[in-house]
Structure 1
């Protein structure tokens, strides 16, 4: 278990997290952004995790050839720790001014039999897809990376003609639409927001 997974996300921090989904849903999320789930163990929101192995098991009971793990940039805002069954704020934390609910690893909640860390972010705009952590094959990975590049061009108001995209987590400059090869490492955030993953160019 990485040290960052056992530490509560710091209020106002920005973290790399993961979300497992199907290939078709990955395309929709990249193109249109996340949408709130209608419910779940922590109520409405976007469910993510710092634990890539947990995200890799979703969608549950699906064929591994239809699983994609999206790499995310998450602005957690104000964080509430939910660490026991029937917690008084398990479903109402967002109405008390919190932006993210955090379930620590191995806290004993029956709703998390895997014991792995989990987060629920109420506002989908706080969650941004920045890369593809896992894909069934290189063809799908490249396709999804290209979709991310196209979305970035739209978001930044243009692109092409030799335009450069600067990745927000590692400040690496790459041509729009180019595959961003990366590795993960732990680094202390100079802004005081705790340990987090950052991307580094190989």
Structure 2
């Protein structure tokens, strides 16, 4: 079985085994060719039809390479982004499962599982042109690279090959392929007001958090200042106590020196007095001896 991506026209009304009804003249996207049956995709569903029930869509030479292949796709985003899209069109994204494309689900419900931003669902008529059926994820794919391969868009069938997605999805790389955007203006207005209130609330919460952080920092700074003041006071008190202790030690030493000086002076007076007494005694003894000599 060969994987392809070609447009075929239904030759007559046909009901598939799963109940899918194909009407005569309807254009379907064939993604695989088998010996007896072709596998096709319609509105995100995969079915099979005998190849004899289809005929390849013929293009005139003056038609472009890929005829219009319009699908209805759904894109969910925020109300603010939706207003921007409605005003100035889609812009390719920064990156995803097949690079920076514009992605569309085939049901509103599927957008709930894939949208990066939520709030408003845009219903779009998208010309997917010549569509490449993806067999694996290619996050580096670009629109230019896809054109070199001869395709205008990519398609992920649900639970197909190695992709592992549980819902089908298209991606285009040229915003002009979105032919029409249907939206609920009232829903956008309501969602926009809700988003504005949420943003205002978040901004208020950020402001309060910032104020709380500033109060916390101010409190910490005040606590640090008080701690520093207390430390400075403690050091000043210690220095004062050390100064007083030093002065007290100096006074004690001075008193000890004075005491020793007085003791020394007292000892010197005592010695001088003793020497004086000894001298007088000696003189007295000499006088006595002289008197005795005279008497003899």
CA RMSD of aligned residues (A): 3.4
CA offset at residue 86 of structure 1?
6.0
Determine the structure 1 residue equivalent to 2:148: 95
Residue of structure 2 aligned with 1:83, choices 116, 135, 153: 135
Structure 2 stretches of 5 or more lacking a match?
A: 1-17, 21-41, 48-65, 192-296
Distance 1:85 1:131, change over 3 A: closer
Q: Counterpart in 2 of 1:176?
A: none
Q: 2:101 maps to which residue? A: 45
> Do the aligned partners of 2:67 and 2:130 also contact (CA within 8 Å) in 1?
yes
Match in the other structure for 2:84: 28
What do residues 22-69 of structure 1 show as CA deviations (whole Å, max 9, x unaligned)? 111000000000011122111222111212211134534x6xxx5111
Q: How many residues align?
A: 132
Provide the TM-score with structure 1 as the length reference: 0.54
Q: Which has the higher contact order (CA 8 A, sep 6+)?
A: 1
Change (3 A) 1:111 1:37: farther
SS in 2 for 1:19: strand
Q: 1:23 to 1:85 in 2, by over 3 A?
A: closer
In the alignment, structure 1 segments of 5+ residues that lack a partner are 145-202
Q: Aligned to 1:18, what secondary structure does the other structure show? A: strand
Asked if the contact 2:82–2:188 (Cα under 8 Å) also holds between the matched residues in 1, the reply is: no
Which structure has greater strand proportion? Answer: 1
Find the structure with the greater CA-based Rg: 2
Residue 105 in 1 paired to residue 158 in 2? yes
Residue 176 of structure 2: SS of its match in structure 1?
Answer: helix
Aligned position for 2:61:
none
**Counterpart in 1 of 2:124?**
72
Distance 1:68 1:58, change over 3 A: farther
Residue aligning to 1:120: 171
SS at the partner of 1:29? Answer: helix
After superposition, the Cα gap between the structure-2 partners of 1:83 and 1:103, relative to the gap in structure 1 and judged at 3 Å, is same
Bigger fraction of residues in helix = 2
User: How far apart, in 2, do the equivalents of 1:37 and 1:111 lie?
Assistant: 22
The question of whether the paired residues in 2 share the 8 Å contact of 1:22 and 1:59 is answered with no
Tell me the TM-score normalized by structure 2: 0.38
CA contact (8 A) 2:131 2:154 kept: yes
